[in-house]
Chain A
Amino acid sequence: MKVSGLNLQLEGLQQGDPLAPGYYQIGSQKYYYDGTHFWLTVGGQSVQAFFNRQTAPSQLSISPGDNLKITLGFSYTGPVVSNAQAYFGWGYFGALGNWAPTQEIWVTFQIPANQSSTPVQVQQSYTFTLPASGLATGLADILVQVNSGSPDVGQHDLAYNQALNIIGVTPSITNFTILSFAKA
């Protein structure tokens, strides 16, 4: 069994006034903020908006039964935050930007106080064990988030598109060639 790791660095978190729920215009697009998440209406469907979707810097090959360790990090300045929520998930972004996780988890953690002017690095990790069967071969995405807490740290997310190359139960076959043929 293999353990593979991925590190995702969120933008720096700083304490400030929490955003009030309501509609917000960002660029040409209108979003609804419910106090925790931003939502976008696409074709009459409400889809959670993840603003920070990036092309994965590298691709990780992983197989059924392997362990996948995802580490998120951010720099922080502010008071101690209790009950902050960290989200780890891998799955697939749909055509509308909708997130369909295959495995996901919310983890409660504490952000230590940092009153100095120099931000400190905070990290959180979670290790998934991929299912041993029924895993389709193909590329998959990763999403991490940090939000909530007391005081509230706001909503921060980062996704890597096609970060995982799932070597699933279906073989991927290439370069099929006939080398020779003759009477047996």
Chain B
Amino acid sequence: MVLDIKIGALTLTKQNFTVGDTVKVVASFSYTVGVNTTIKINAGPYYTNVFGRNIIQACVGSTSVQLTATQTPVSKQVTINFPLTPKASGGMDDGTYGLMVWVDGSSFSASTQDWAAQDNLLVVSGNPASMWDTLTGMLPMLLLFMLMGMMMPMMQGMTQSFGGTQQGGQR
């Protein structure tokens, strides 16, 4: 018998979604607090560029969580839903996005443990092609036609000129 035991943080695998879908995220954390309080937890997709992680605000969802006062750490599990808002409504392009969950007001610094993120988890498609997308898709072909339109008369002229010399040679 072979035992396959893995110890460590769960690694999430990427999943496919269509714009307009709602994503349900389950997260957990430990907390201590001196008085009963309520915190807000957000979740949403992000893309990464030279400036770091950029959250797509139009797709952020949130939920309120009640924390009961405790001096010893207590584990809490929360569920947050967020929409994959289409590009046409100010949301996201088709592509692959990271997933982030955070306590509202987090500084996102490496030393704080009130947020979690993983790159390349949400593969999003289904944005309808816009007029601009159609035009940009056709642009290379249009350019080729224009180039051919310019080249054809020139090539025709060269052929005619070459033909004239031949005629002269026959004389």
Chain B residues near A182: list those with CB within 8 A: 15, 23-24
State which residues 16-44 of B face A: CB under 8 Å. Answer: 17, 21-35, 37, 39
Contact check, B26 vs A181: say whether CB atoms are below 8 A apart: yes
Residue of A nearest to B80 (CB): A181
Chain A residues with a Cβ closer than 8 Å to the other chain, count: 28
A147 to B19, CA, bound (A): 73
Is B48 an interface residue, CB under 8 A from the partner?
A: no
Are B81 and A178 interface neighbours, CB within 8 A? no
Within 8 A of A (CB), among B61-106: 67, 69-73, 75, 77, 81, 99, 101-103
Contact A173 B31 (CB under 8 A): yes
Closest Cβ–Cβ distance, residue A155 to chain B (whole Å): 35
A63 at the interface (CB under 8 A from B): yes
Report which residue of B24, B67, B75, B81 has the largest number of chain A beta carbons within 10 angstroms of its beta carbon: B24
Does B34 lie within 8 Å of A183, measured CB to CB?
A: no
Contact flag A176-B115 (CB < 8 Å), given A63-B35, A182-B24, A183-B17? yes
**Bound state CA distance, A156 and B44, in angstroms?**
57
B113 and A168: CB pair below 8 A?
A: no
B26 lies within 8 A of A180 (CB): yes
**Is B23 touching A177 in the complex (CB atoms < 8 A)?**
no
Residues of B within 8 A of A169 (CB): 33-35, 37
- Number of residues of chain B lying within 8 A (CB) of chain A: 43
Q: Considering the complex, which residues of chain A in the window 158-184 have a beta carbon less than 8 Å from any beta carbon of chain B?
A: 166-184
**Smallest CB gap from B121: residue in A:** A181
Question: Given the complex, which residues of A lie within 8 Å of B114, measured CB to CB?
Answer: 173-174, 176
Q: Does residue A137 face the partner (Cβ distance < 8 Å to B)?
A: yes
In the complex, the answer to whether B101 meets A171 with C-beta atoms within 8 Å is no
Q: Which A residues are in CB contact (< 8 Å) with B33?
A: 137, 167-172
Which residues of the partner chain A approach B122 to less than 8 Å between Cβ atoms?
181
Interface string of A115-137 (1 = CB under 8 A from B): 00000000000000000110101
B12 interfacial by beta-carbon distance below 8 Å = yes
A173, B23: Cα distance in complex, Å = 24
A-B CB contact pairs (8 Å), 28 listed? A63-B35, A64-B34, A65-B34, A167-B32, A167-B34, A167-B70, A169-B34, A171-B31, A171-B103, A173-B30, A173-B103, A175-B28, A175-B75, A176-B101, A176-B113, A176-B116, A178-B25, A178-B27, A178-B101, A178-B118, A180-B12, A180-B25, A181-B99, A181-B122, A182-B24, A183-B22, A183-B23, A184-B22
What 6 new A-B contacts, CB under 8 Å, besides A176-B29, A177-B27, A179-B10?
Answer: A65-B34, A173-B113, A175-B29, A176-B103, A178-B25, A182-B15
Interface residues of chain A, those whose CB is within 8 Å of chain B, are 61-65, 132-133, 135, 137, 166-184
